[in-house]
Structures are given as C-alpha cells and as structure tokens.
Structure 1
Amino acid sequence: MKVIVADSINQKGIDNLKEVAEIIVDTNISPEELVDTIGQYEAIIVRSRTKVTREVIERADKLKIIARAGVGVDNVDVEAATEKGIMVVNAPESTSITVAEHTLGMMLTAVRKIAIADKSVKENKWEKTRFMGVELRNKTLGVVGMGRIGSQVVSRCKAFEMDAIVYDPYLPKKVAKQMGVELDDLETVLKKADVITIHVPLTPETKHLISNKEIDIMKDDAFIVNCARGGIIDEEALYNALSNDKLGGAALDVYEEEPPKNSKLLTLDNIVVTPHIAASTKEAQRDAAIIVANEVIEVIKGGTPKNVLNMPVVDQKTYEKMKPYVKLSKKLGSFVSQSITGQIKELEIVYCGELSENPNQNILTRTILQGVLNPVLNDPVNMINAPTIAKERGITITEGKTCNSKGYDSTIKIRASSDNDEVSLEGTDLYESKVIKINNYWVDVKPEGHMFIAKYNDIPGAIGTIGTKLGERNINIGIMQVGRDIAGGRAIMILTVDQKVPSDVLEEVKNLDNVFDAVGLEL
C-alpha cells in the first residue's frame, strides 16, 4: 500500500506506517501537484494545511482512506469522499487530556490572578495585596457538557476537592451517578457553581448560551472558563459583567472572532486569554499521529477503523441510489432532536415502501442517530460510534419496516419520546428532502434553514396573532405550512423564516392565548 503524508505529523506515526506500507512524505505538496499525483496513493494523511477537495477526490482512483491527524475535518470534502466510497477518519480522542489540562490551567490562573501578578512582578512591582485569590477546595464546579473533555476536567477537579454539578440534557442520571456528579438543569448549575466550564459544540442552540440572563443567575463572584468554541458566551454580556465586577473573573481560549482584534475584553485585568491553544501540546500531536496511523494500518489489514466519519460500506452505484435518503435521514434526525422537549429516551424508526426491502437500512439508521446526537454533543458523532453513544445516553432504538408508503416510493417514519414529550415525523424524497407529516398533521415542508413551529388551538385569528408577534420582532416569514386534525381542534404551523428565532421571542409566542408550544429549528 502506498501512503502520502501531506502535512507534518509526529515521527512516531510515520515510523509505525513504515512497517506495513510505502510512505511518501511531502509536506510542501501544492494543490496542483496533489491533484496530479493522488491517483497513485491508497491513503493520504493530512492535518490542516492540505485541502482534500472534490477535485482531488475525483482523481483519487486508488484511494481507500483519508486520515486527518486532528479533530475537525473542515479541510476534507467528506461528501465527495463518501460518494466515491473513501473512508474519512480523524483522531477525536487525541486532544481530550490536553484540552482538559489547559482548562485546569486557565481556571487556576483566573482564580489566583497568576497572569496579572506575573505581569506586575516583571514591571518591578510588588503588589501582594492586589492579587488576593480564592481556593478551589470545597468550591462547586459547574460543567456545561459532560462529554469526553468535560469528564476529564471533572476527574481532575476532584483532586482539588471540588464538588461537580453538570448540565447535559443527553446524559442519563444513572451515568451521571456512576461519574460521581450531580445532574441538573442549566439554571440550577449556573446558580450553584463557583466555577463554570464550557464543553459543548457551537450550534444554533448553543450560540450565546451564556448571555445577560444567564450571567445574572450566576453568583456575583463566580468564574467562567471557555476552552470549547467561541460564540457560546456572549462577549458583550461578558464584558459588561466583568467590567462591573458582577463576576470574579473569566478565562477564554476561544472567541467569537479569531483573532479577537479590538475586543474590549482584552482591556480588562480580570480575564485570562490564550490564542486557541487548548489542544496544542506535543503529546496531543503525537497521539493524533499514532491514532491516524493505526487507522490506516487497520485498513491495510482489511479491518474497519473505529473513527470513520462517513462509513462508506456500499459500492458507489448503490450509494448514489441511497444518497437522497441519507440526506433526508440526517435532516429528520436533527429535526426531531431540536423539536422535542427533554432527553430522548426512545427512538422508533420505520422504513416504508422500497426502503423496507433495502438491505442497507443500517446506514440510514446510523445517519438518523448522527442527526439526533450531533446538535447536543460536543464530542464528534459519526456513523460508527452513533449507536454506541446513543446506548450510553440511554436511548432505546427500535427499527421496523412496512410496505405501506401511502403512495410514495419510500418514506421514513421516526417517533421520539422523552419523559414529558413525544414527536413523530415522516419524510420522503421528491427530488429534494420533504417532511410530509409531523405528529398527526399532514404537511409539505422542506427541512432547511431557519424554521419555526407553533402548536395552537385552531380558532379564528390564531395564525394572524402568531404572525404579528414575529413581525413585531422583525422576523420575516418566507414559507408557511399549516396542518390540523379537525376544524376547531388543534393545529400546527411550520414556518421558514429569514433568521433564527431568538429564545425570548419563542417564549413570547408560547405566552400567547391559544398557543401551547413553540420551537425554533436550524437545519
């Protein structure tokens, strides 16, 4: 097997590969040279510099695997690789310890004022009373997102004799108990925590998850640390809180704009900042190289790597036929995840029509699980690990099939239930993904962009009242769909709007007479 290493990786990974394959290391290869030569390789390893574009992939007639020695795969056209039956892998676990340790460093630096004390001494000052800090011992750690990194932070903070309270809507109470943490809602975590650390992905739902309202809930002397993604904390709200001594301090490794040019936060003494380096250690780079090298070696041996992001287990011709329903599956999963209230406990998936006879339904089920889990988890969810993560999160999955597709070639039905809610969805592909039924209401909705759903009593003026409320907040409606069971009964309104509907607007709509639920979706 011939492998090209197109970016610099730790030598240990290269040495491991040399034992089983012919290795070409060309870390200066240009995009044009890569297009011209990729046809001779069966594997390629990259980091961030090299872009594995559709043009490259279309010329990669022998390529079996694309390995990214890191977490993100923004520089790889995963869809093009999937269409051609090429596996894409990464090394998500390589940075867990590194980011957790950086989080602890940022935490200690903030509570003990280490950074500004260091600066003071270097300026030949001796301001001991200015840098009075606080201990972590007997303090409460609030963790927002208890994935791989969050759990590592908790285990280390226990050595400081800290208690931990966690907000993670997809973490079962049983698992939280096993981890030795208290599981609660976000408001309770913010109220109780002395130090808050963020470990969730940046999604439409987590954008400005911590803003003025949330900061007001926090203790006046609390500290907050973000080594996850910029934008989860509203930086304007954080600046106001820090400049008014509402909070004890903050520590950021990530920012809404990177680098954070002209940010007012950089003028404050009660914030610690680093340049997005939480994952940057020699050990993390070494581990990433070893992990992806082992993934390539697994392919050479005829096995299946564990970190496959796209899992192309069918030939290209078969995948082309399934491609519309793969896209539909991801949309339906995300739709359900964002529209249900509470943690999903049960997920029932039924394939109808031609799909009921398709032997590759497992690909669609795994894609649905990706759609369900990715909006709420920080750790990457792929087609390989999706069933395992769903099981760990306490989700029971039931699959079925039926020949009755109600006049369509194929449909996919999903029913999700939590402790206090249930959502059912049915979709098909009619040259594009379509949702044709939500709960018991027949609709015709394209699941894409900014969406808004309201459930209300079907009485005169109800639709106008909801539309007026959105108009008052300058939210423009592009497409409207309405479904109802019987005249005068309960109805559902699905809107495609020009911008995300803010959470406070959703609350205002919910408080309208005859409206009993409202939710915003980003698809």
Structure 2
Amino acid sequence: MKVIVADAINQQGIDNLEKVAEVVVDTNITPEELLNTISEYDAIIVRSRTKVTREVIENAEKLKIIARAGVGVDNVDVEAATEKGIMVVNAPESTSITVAEHTMGLMLSIARKITIADKSVKESKWEKSRFMGVELRNKTLGVVGMGRIGSQVVSRCKAFEMNAIVYDPYLPEKVAKQMGVQLADLNTVLKEADFITIHVPLTDETKHLISTKEIKMMKNDSYIINCARGGIIDEEALYEGLVNEEIGGAALDVYEIEPPVDNKLLTLDNIVVTPHIAASTREAQRDAAIIVANEVIEVLESRVPKNVLNMPVVDPKTYEEIKPYLNLCKKLGSFITQSINGQIRELEILYSGKLAKIPNQDILTRTILQGILNPILNDPVNTINAATIARARGIKVTEGKTSDANGYDSLVKVKGISDNDVFSVEGTDMHEPTIIKINDYWVDVKPEGHMFISKYQDVPGAIGTIGTKLGERNINIGIMQVGRDIAGGKAIMILTVDQKIPEDVMEEVRKLENVFDAVGLEL
C-alpha cells in the first residue's frame, strides 16, 4: 500500500501511517506532477493547498480514499470521487475543542473589556474606571445550534456557573435534559440570554438569522459571539445595534466578507474581533493529522472509516440504477423538513417499482435523512452518519417496499410525523426530480428554487386572495400547482416564485380567511 501526503500535516499522523504503508511526503507537488503520479497511490492526504480535481481522480487507478486534514473539502471533487467509488473523509471533530475554547476566550474578552484595556495600557494610560466588566457567573448562556461545538461551549460555561438555554429544533427534549440545558425557541433565547453564541451552518435559512428585529429583542446589556460562519449575523444591523447601545457588545471571528477591510464594525470599542482563527491551534492541527491518518489506515485494512463525506461504496451496476434518485431523495428530505410543522419524530419511507427490487435501499434512506438534517445542523451530515444522527435526534425511521408504482418506473414516498403535524411528499425521476403528490394531493412540481406551499379551504376566491396578497408585496409567481380532495374541501397550493418570501409576508398569508397554513421553502 502506498500513501501520498501532499500537504504539510503533523508528524504524528505520518508516523502512524508508516506503520502500515509506504508513505511519500511531497508537500511541494505541483498539479501536473500529481496528475502524472496519482495512479501509484492507494490514498492521498491533503489540507487546503492541493486540489484533488476530477481529472486527478479519473487518473487514480488504485485510489481508495481521499483524506482532508481539516473540516471542509472545497478542494476535493467529492462528486467525481463518489462516482468512482473513492471515499472522501475529513476530520470534523479535530476543531470542536479549539473552536469552543476560542468562543470562551471571546466571551471573556468582551465581558471584561480585555482587548481595549490591553490597548490602553500599551498606550501608557491607566483608565481603570473605563473598563468595568461583568461576571459570567449566574448569567444565562444562549446557544444557537447544539452540535459538537455548541455542547462543548455549554460544558465550559457550566464551570463558570452559567445557566444555558438552547435553540435547536432537532435536539430531543430527553437529550437536552441529559446535557443540562433548557430548550427554547429562538425568540426566547434572544430575549432571555445574557451571552448568545452561534454554532449553526450558513444556509439560505440561517443567512442574517440575527438582524435588526432579533437584535432589538436582545437585552441592552447582552453580548453576542459568532465563531461559526460570516453572514449569519447581519453586520449592518449589528453595527447599528452596537452604536445605539441596543446590546452591550459583540465578538466575531468570522465575517460576511473576509478579510473585513473597511468594515465599520472595526471602528467600535464594544466589539472584539479575530481573523477567523477559532480552529487554529497546534493541538487541532495535530489531532486532524492523527484522525485522517487513522481513517486512511481503516480503509487500507479493509474496515469502514467514520467520517466519510460521500456515499458508501456500492457496486457500479447498482450505483447506475440509483444515481438518478439520489438527488430526488435529497430534495424530498429537504422539502419535508421545511414544510412540516414541529420537530420530526417519525419518518415513514416507501419505495415502489424498480427501486423496491434493489437488494438494499439503505443509501437512498440515508440520502433522504441527509436532506432532512443538513438544513438545520451545523455539523455536515452525509450518507454515512445520517442514520446515526437521526437516531441521536430521536427520529424513528420505518422503510417499506411495494411493486406497485402507479404506472411510474419508481416512486419514493416520505411521510414525516411530528408532535402536531403529518406531512407527506411523493416523487419520481423523469429526467429530473419531480414531486407527484403532496399530502396525497396529485401535483406536478419541480422541487427547485424559491417555493411556497399553502393549505386552504377550497372556496371561490381563496386562490385569488393568496395571489393578491403576494402581489401586494411584489412577490412574482412563476409556476402554480393546486390539488384538492373534493370540491369545497381542503386543498393545497404550490408556487414557484422569483424570490425568497419574507417571514412577515408568510405571516400575513396565514392570517387570511380560509388559509390554514403557509410555508416558504428554499430548494
């Protein structure tokens, strides 16, 4: 077995690899040299410098695994690797402690005004009264996103005798109690917390999650910390909130534009800023090297690694059969998690037609779970870890198969059950993902772009009232589909619109006569 280490990693990872394989360390290898030599290797380890492109992967005759000694895999063509049956792994847990500790550092810095006090003393000043701070003890910590990093922050804050409330729609009550935290909605966290720390991914749903309205909800002596992703906090709104003393202070490690050149926030004294270094420690780099080295060893010794970012390896024939449905399954999962009211507790999946004859539908189920979980979790969900994460989140999954596909080659039906809602969606692949049923209403919908779903009473004028309300708010409708059970009964409307519908517009639609519910989706 032969492994190439194409970027600099900690020596301990290399030492571990050398116990089981021949290791070539070439941290200056050029793209042309990698392209010409990749066929010699069973595994490759990279960080950020080396790009593992589709062309490189297509030349990789023996390659079994691509390992990224870090969190992201932007420099790896994961799709090309998947198509060729090559595993892609990373080391997401390597930075959990590091980022949590940096969060604590920022929290203490802003609470005790450490950075501006340091600057003052270095300028030969002695302004003790200017730097009156606050204790963490007996304060309320608000956590937005309770994944690996969020839970580590909570653990450390408990040592400071802080209380914790958490906003995480997919954290079961039982798990929250075990962690010693109180679950709450986002508004409650914003209103009650003294320190708010963000640990969610940047998605369409979380972009500007904290903006003017949210900042006005916060206590005027509260603090907000972001070590997750730039763009989750609306920086213009944050600036106004800090200048107008609507909140006590902020601490940022990430920014909407990096580096934050000419950013007005940098002119303020009540903010602490660092240059996206939350994950940058010697220990994190060491741990990343050890983790990916061990993942490579697992594969070379014919075992399954735990941090695989792409689908499990399947035989080429099966992969070609299921390939068109993988995108459909991910879309169905994302569709249902954005449409259902409440937290999904149960999931019923039915495979019909040709898909029912495939020996194992596991990869399809995992892809559905990936679509359900990725929009609301900070840590990446993939087809390897999706089932484990779903179980940890208290989601019960039931699969079924039937040969009857209602005239289609194959169908996939997903039903979600929450504490207060049942929502189902059914689709097929007709050269592109297509939804044919929503809550058992026949439709013909392409799940893509900005979408809108409304449940309403099928009475004259109901559709027009909804359309008029959207028109009043300059929301242009591109495609409309409706379905109903019987004339005058309950009905459903699905729209594709030209822009994301703001939540206040959705609330206005929900208040219309004969409208039961309305939700916006981003697919």
Q: 1:229 matched to which residue of 2? A: 229
TM superposition shift of 1:233: 1.0
Whether the 8 Å contact between 1:83 and 1:320 is mirrored in structure 2 is no
Whether 1:202 and 2:187 are equivalent positions in the alignment is no
Q: 1:469 matched to which residue of 2? A: 469
Cα distance in 1 for partners of 2:475, 2:74 equals: 31
Cα distance in 2 for partners of 1:456, 1:391 equals: 34
Whether 1:249 and 2:249 are equivalent positions in the alignment is yes
TM superposition shift of 1:102: 0.2
Q: 1:454 matched to which residue of 2? A: 454
Q: 1:260 matched to which residue of 2? A: 260
Cα distance in 1 for partners of 2:251, 2:459 equals: 51
Whether the 8 Å contact between 1:86 and 1:312 is mirrored in structure 2 is no
Cα distance in 2 for partners of 1:400, 1:45 equals: 40
TM superposition shift of 1:437: 0.4
- Helix, strand or coil at the partner of 1:400: strand
Cα distance in 1 for partners of 2:472, 2:279 equals: 44
Q: 2:81 matched to which residue of 1? A: 81
Whether 1:302 and 2:302 are equivalent positions in the alignment is yes
Greater shift, 489-498 or 192-201, is seen at 489-498
Q: 1:119 matched to which residue of 2? A: 119
Whether the 8 Å contact between 1:66 and 1:88 is mirrored in structure 2 is yes
Whether 1:520 and 2:520 are equivalent positions in the alignment is yes
Cα distance in 1 for partners of 2:360, 2:522 equals: 28
Whether the 8 Å contact between 2:86 and 2:313 is mirrored in structure 1 is no
- Helix, strand or coil at the partner of 1:374: helix
- Helix, strand or coil at the partner of 1:397: strand
TM superposition shift of 1:467: 2.3
Q: 1:45 matched to which residue of 2? A: 45
TM-score normalised by L of structure 2: 0.98
- Helix, strand or coil at the partner of 1:164: strand
Q: Deviations over 1:234-276 (max 9, x none)?
A: 1111111100011110001111111122211111110011111
Q: Deviations over 1:264-291 (max 9, x none)?
A: 1111110011111101111001101100
Q: 2:487 matched to which residue of 1? A: 487
TM superposition shift of 1:452: 1.4
Q: Post-superposition, which runs of at least 4 consecutive aligned residues in structure 1 deviate over 4 A?
A: none
Letter in 2 for 1:447: P
Cα distance in 2 for partners of 1:318, 1:128 equals: 70
- Helix, strand or coil at the partner of 2:376: coil
Greater shift, 298-307 or 45-54, is seen at 45-54
Greater shift, 451-460 or 281-290, is seen at 451-460
Cα distance in 2 for partners of 1:486, 1:362 equals: 37
Cα distance in 2 for partners of 1:457, 1:34 equals: 62
Gaps of 5+ in 1: none
Whether the 8 Å contact between 1:41 and 1:63 is mirrored in structure 2 is yes
Q: 1:15 matched to which residue of 2? A: 15
Whether 1:216 and 2:231 are equivalent positions in the alignment is no
Cα distance in 2 for partners of 1:410, 1:206 equals: 34
Letter in 2 for 1:80: A
Cα distance in 1 for partners of 2:20, 2:120 equals: 55
Gaps of 5+ in 2: none
Cα distance in 2 for partners of 1:517, 1:208 equals: 24
- Helix, strand or coil at the partner of 2:250: strand
Q: 1:338 matched to which residue of 2? A: 338
Cα distance in 2 for partners of 1:260, 1:341 equals: 38
Whether the 8 Å contact between 2:312 and 2:384 is mirrored in structure 1 is no
Q: 1:99 matched to which residue of 2? A: 99
Q: Deviations over 1:426-461 (max 9, x none)?
A: 010111111110002111111112211122222233
Letter in 2 for 1:121: V
Q: 2:410 matched to which residue of 1? A: 410
- Helix, strand or coil at the partner of 1:425: strand
Cα distance in 1 for partners of 2:32, 2:237 equals: 46
Q: Deviations over 1:296-348 (max 9, x none)?
A: 00011110001111133212232122111111111111111111111110001
Q: Deviations over 1:98-121 (max 9, x none)?
A: 000000000000010111111111
The correspondence of residues 131-150 of structure 1 with structure 2, limited to 5 A, is: 131-150=131-150
Letter in 2 for 1:169: P
